[in-house]
């Protein structure tokens, strides 16, 4: 098998698949453990992936070593990036299709609220990061420049918000001399960035004693004409599961995400989300159905989330052990917790949003893919995906801008 300019043996690919499915099996067992009604769910896969990266990364690295001429080079990170990106495409495209039918109606009703929540969350994240940069630089004095502190802390911010676009933007802005420091910060903060939001969307309903049946009624919004489109009979289905429609949306999403305007692009995640929302909303082209089966979308959503967490978790675990420092982990906790809580209270007391619209918006504002999967299970409805899909694009653009500004400001 040819991959990344080298030859990966069948044995090497088998080792990789063995790791992926072993982590999934053990991770789901861990995620099933429930303490006072709270569980890790699919985030259990992420915890096991981190542990696998911490203890077995070197072994996997050795299996994916490729000899090109007289030089041996490992392609472990590249192979895992393929797993991660495949997972993201599956998950986000599924979410777009699921949210599509109710998206326009929900977005029209709560447009201002979604924009404001995203801006509040990202602004609070940026202010928290700026405060930590100043504190960190004063603490270390002359041992670390303000530019180094900024690179590390902005990396922590991108990890705290689990935002790959912000991570890439920070590395690009920091420059070659400081991009490795950004990477270290991202890896350290990523763990709590995932787990913190996953636990938050479960704990809040428990604290409030929320009646989910009642809360679900508050978020169901009929999109103009969508339900009618969905109920139309005799639409031509290209295949029984809707794989064609799903694949077409993914391809168009990847293309859209790669287009740069003034140096900014939606990325694969944003592109697939936008296209899938459109497909899900319109549901058909003429007499041809462009909506996959609901069961197909649920399987792809969960499979995608699993692959994403494994692909990100294994290298994250290796970097976490290698570069971990307690003070940076605390900074990461601050940059995850403050924006999350601020956004929740703003949505609850200022915007008066219902609980599930609130929490759905928080997962979008925090750009937290795993937390959305958990919230769907906690809420017992796919409708929370509309709030995520509405808030996510604003947060995506905002966190990229904030990351670049912070690096330039303290450079």
pLDDT at 139: 77
**Is residue 57 included in any domain, yes or no?**
no
Q: What is the pLDDT of residue 220?
A: 55
Average pLDDT over residues 103-119: 82
Q: Which residue has the higher pLDDT, 293 or 266?
A: 293
What average pLDDT does this structure show over 325-349? 92
User: Does residue 72 belong to any structural domain of this protein?
Assistant: no
SS3 state at 69: coil
Max mean pLDDT among 137-141, 156-160, 185-189, 336-340 falls in 336-340
- Is 242 among the domain residues? no
Question: Would you state the torsion angle of the CA atoms of residues 359, 364, 368, 371, taken in this order, to the nearest 10 degrees?
Answer: 30
Assess if residue 349 is contained within a domain: yes
Most confident of 152-161, 257-266, 320-329: 152-161
Q: What is the pLDDT of residue 14?
A: 83
Is the pLDDT at 231 greater than 60, yes or no?
A: no
Q: Is the pLDDT of residue 227 over 90?
A: no
**Residue 30 domain-assigned?**
no
Evaluate whether residue 347 is within a structural domain: yes
pLDDT 10s digits, 16-57: 888 899 999 999 999 888 887 777 777 788 889 888 888 888
Tens digits of residue pLDDT in 185-203: 887 888 888 889 988 999 9
> Which residues are CB-contacts of 86 (< 8 A; sequence separation ≥ 6)?
304, 307, 311
Residue reference for tokens 């109920």: 231
Tokens representing 281?
């909303």
Task: Provide the pLDDT confidence category of residue 141 given band limits of 50, 70 and 90.
Answer: low
Q: How many structural domains is the chain composed of?
A: 1
Mean pLDDT (the chain, rounded):
83
Q: Smallest Cα–Cα separation from 382: which of 185, 165, 103?
A: 103
Q: Is residue 189 part of a domain?
A: yes
pLDDT in the model for residue 148: 81
| pLDDT given at position 399 | 86
How does DSSP classify residue 238? S
Query: Could you tell me which residue, 312 or 9, shows the higher pLDDT?
Result: 312
pLDDT at 142 > cutoff 70: no
> Mean per-residue pLDDT for 138-163?
80
The answer as to whether 313 is a domain residue is: no
pLDDT band, very low/low/confident/very high, at 356 (cuts 50, 70, 90): very high
Per-residue confidence at 226, pLDDT binned at 50, 70, 90? very low
Question: Measured between alpha carbons, how far is 65 from 170 in angstroms, rounded to an integer?
Answer: 30
Query: Which has more confidence, 222 or 285?
Result: 285
Closest residue by Cα to residue 384 from 118, 195, 103: 103
Look at 74 and 118; give whichever has higher pLDDT: 118
- Distance, in Å, from the CA atom of 170 to the CA atom of 244, rounded to the nearest integer, reads 36
pLDDT at position 316 is: 74
More confident residue, 64 or 345: 345
Please enumerate in sequence order all residues whose Cβ is within 8 A of that of 169, keeping only pairs 6 or more positions apart, or say none.
Answer: 400, 403, 404
pLDDT value of position 243: 92
Q: How confident is the model at residue 67 (pLDDT cuts 50, 70, 90)?
A: low
Query: pLDDT at residue 379 above 80?
Result: yes
Of 148 and 73, which is predicted with more confidence? 148
Question: What is the model's pTM?
Answer: 0.72
Domain hosting residue 391, numbered range: 86-221+256-305+322-409
Give the β-pairing of 34-35 and 71-74. unpaired
What pLDDT, on the 0 to 100 scale, is given for residue 69? Answer: 61
- Under the banding of pLDDT at 50, 70 and 90, the label for residue 229 is very low
């Amino acid at each position: 098998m040819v991959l990344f300019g080298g030859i990966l043996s069948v044995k090497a690919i088998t080792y990789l698949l063995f790791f992926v499915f072993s982590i999934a099996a053990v991770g789901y067992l861990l995620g099933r453990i429930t303490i006072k009604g709270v569980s890790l769910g699919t985030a259990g896969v992420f915890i096991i992936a981190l542990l696998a990266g911490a203890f077995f990364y070197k072994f996997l690295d050795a299996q994916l070593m490729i000899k090109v001429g007289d030089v041996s080079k490992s392609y472990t990170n590249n192979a895992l990036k393929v797993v991660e990106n495949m997972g993201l495409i599956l998950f986000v495209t599924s979410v777009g299709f699921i949210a599509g039918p109710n998206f326009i109606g929900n977005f029209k009703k709560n447009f201002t609220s979604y924009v404001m929540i995203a801006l509040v969350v990202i602004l609070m994240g940026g202010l928290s990061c700026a405060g930590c940069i100043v504190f960190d630089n004063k603490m270390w004095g002359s041992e670390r420049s303000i530019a180094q502190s900024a690179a590390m802390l902005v990396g922590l911010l991108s990890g705290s918000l689990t935002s790959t676009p912000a991570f890439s933007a920070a590395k690009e802005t920091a420059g070659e001399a400081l991009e490795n420091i950004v990477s270290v910060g991202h890896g350290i903060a990523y763990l709590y960035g995932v787990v913190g939001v996953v636990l938050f969307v479960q704990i809040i309903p428990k604290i409030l004693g929320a009646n989910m049946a009642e809360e679900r009624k508050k978020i169901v919004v009929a999109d103009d004409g969508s339900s009618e489109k969905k109920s139309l009979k005799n639409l031509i289905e290209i295949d029984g599961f809707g794989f064609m429609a799903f694949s077409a949306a993914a391809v168009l999403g990847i293309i859209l995400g790669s287009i740069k305007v003034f140096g900014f692009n939606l990325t694969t995640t944003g592109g697939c989300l936008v296209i899938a929302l459109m497909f899900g909303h319109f549901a058909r082209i003429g007499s041809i159905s462009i909506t996959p089966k609901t069961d197909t979308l649920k399987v792809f959503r969960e499979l995608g989330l699993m692959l994403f967490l494994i692909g990100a978790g294994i290298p994250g675990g290796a970097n976490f052990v290698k570069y971990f420092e307690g003070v940076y982990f605390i900074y990461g906790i601050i940059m995850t917790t403050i924006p999350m809580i601020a956004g929740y209270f703003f949505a609850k007391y200022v915007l008066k949003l219902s609980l599930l619209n609130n929490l759905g918006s928080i997962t979008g504002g925090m750009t937290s893919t795993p937390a959305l999967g958990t919230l769907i299970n906690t809420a017992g409805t796919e409708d929370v995906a509309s709030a995520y899909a509405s808030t996510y694009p604003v947060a995506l653009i905002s966190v990229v801008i904030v990351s670049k500004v912070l690096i330039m400001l303290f450079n």
